[in-house]
Amino acid sequence: MPPDTQALPEPLQATVDRLARHDRVVAVLVVGSLAASSFTAASDYDIVVVLADLEPLWYVAATAIGGRFADVIFLSARALDEIAALAAPVPHDHALAPALRWVERGVIVVDQGGRAQTAQAAARARPLVAPVGDEAAYGAWFATNYNLAVIRRLLTSDDPLYLEVADIRMAVYGHMDLWFSYFTIRGRVWSGDKDAVRALLADDPGYLALYRQVVAETRRAEKAALYERAAAHATAPLGGLWAAGATAESLLRPPVRWEELV
């Protein structure tokens, strides 16, 4: 069962009680593992504090509550009203999209005037975040291929600087491309690392195992080979890796194509 205010751990409950007495606080929601009834000794506290007079729409703070790490999301009360009034889904990268997920999945523990409940009813009534669009999926496909192409070029050099940059690109850009682009290319709205792991365990455990190998490998040649295999899998729904000598633009529908000029 989702927690109510009596079921919260005592340090968090005491914090919620203090927030409820503050005249700027409109609502408080618990999100994350507590809301999903999956709280463990390793979990943090995730709470959304809705404020009456906040700009921008939302931002995040990191703190400790009772000695436990806590993510505190400050959310403008106008976000609740905008959610309640939505007539159509917002794009997946819209500023309101994260707020929609927090309000939809959260457990309301403070609600002055019922605005959080009204917004939550709207968020749960029908999907209000649109799927990832073609442009975003194409952009992720391009970025993954582009970084791989740069890494291949760097690895042809015997210059230690070039090889060091190849290592860094594989470890930094590469790991991120393979992780986030996999989902974007498949039109899946990002909802967090734990949800991503759960999805891969259920739908594509082979890719998760391959990604782990890429991350763990430190030998340059072996990492590059694993990286290329993972990139081919991640980009497969949009045609996979670029053919040798291929031309691609970073926009799905660019105003000018290279072939038109040469």
181 and 119 in a common domain? no
CATH number at 60 reads 3.30.460.10
Task: Specify the pLDDT at position 2.
Answer: 41
> Are 146 and 114 part of one and the same domain?
no
- The mean per-residue pLDDT over the stretch 125-148 comes to 96
Which neighbouring-strand residues pair with 74?
A: 49, 59
Task: Give the pLDDT of residue 36.
Answer: 85
96: containing domain: 10-125
Mean pLDDT (the chain, rounded): 94
The total of structural domains in the chain comes to: 2
pLDDT value at position 3? 41
d(CA 70, CA 63): 5
- pLDDT 10s digits, 30-78: 999 889 888 989 999 999 999 998 899 999 999 999 999 999 999 999 9
Task: Give the mean pLDDT of 250-255.
Answer: 95
Give the rounded percent of residues in the chain with a pLDDT score beyond 90.
90
Do 118 and 207 lie in a common domain?
A: no
Q: Residue 126: what are its φ and ψ, rounded to 5°? A: -165, 160
Q: Which of 82, 103, 125 is the last residue of a domain?
A: 125
Average confidence (pLDDT) over 84-108: 95
Question: Would strands 107-111 and 25-31 be described as parallel, antiparallel, or unpaired?
Answer: antiparallel
- The mean-pLDDT minimum among 3-12, 203-212, 221-230, 233-242 falls in 3-12
Torsion, Cα 235 237 241 243, to 10 degrees, reads -160
Which of these ranges, 2-11, 79-88, 210-219, has the smallest mean pLDDT? Answer: 2-11
pLDDT band at 108, cuts 50/70/90? very high
Domain membership flag for residue 78: yes
Q: What is the mean pLDDT of residues 124-148?
A: 96
| 110 and 164 inside one domain | no
Res 152 pLDDT > 90: yes
pTM: 0.82
| pLDDT tops 90 at residue 90 | yes
Please write the tens of the pLDDT for every residue from 165-185.
999 999 999 999 999 999 999
62 — phi, psi (to 5°)?
-115, 135
